[in-house]
Amino acid sequence: MLDFYLINDEQPKPTNPEQVKLEFITGLDAVTFNNLIHKGIIDARFDYYSDFRWSSKLVEQINSIVLKMNNSDSDINKLNLILNKALELKCGVLAYCD
């Protein structure tokens, strides 16, 4: 599972999200993540099995792509949980593969 946490853009990346008490948003399974890549929503440079970070600007860019897509898509609905929380709090997100 790829777990997503909220993180401020200025905050350095911790080695472990529990160390600094980052707020957990949700997780995405590999099938959903790869579907989002194939749909052109998530850039292929992001690897499911590697930790990565999206800045608040990148969250906004991904959201602008999502807004043009089919809202009844279950993969997009899962991603929207992450995007909406980050947009609401004006944060980026940090993804950790467990």
Cβ-contact 81, 26 below 8 angstroms: yes
Q: Which domains does the chain possess?
A: 2-97 (3.40.1760.20)
33-89 pLDDT, tens per residue? 999 999 999 999 999 999 999 999 999 999 999 999 877 899 999 999 999 999 999
pLDDT band at 17, cuts 50/70/90?
low
- Flag whether pLDDT at 92 surpasses 90: yes
Report the pLDDT value the prediction gives residue 19, as an integer from 0 to 100.
Answer: 72
Closest of 57, 56, 59 to residue 41, by C-alpha: 59
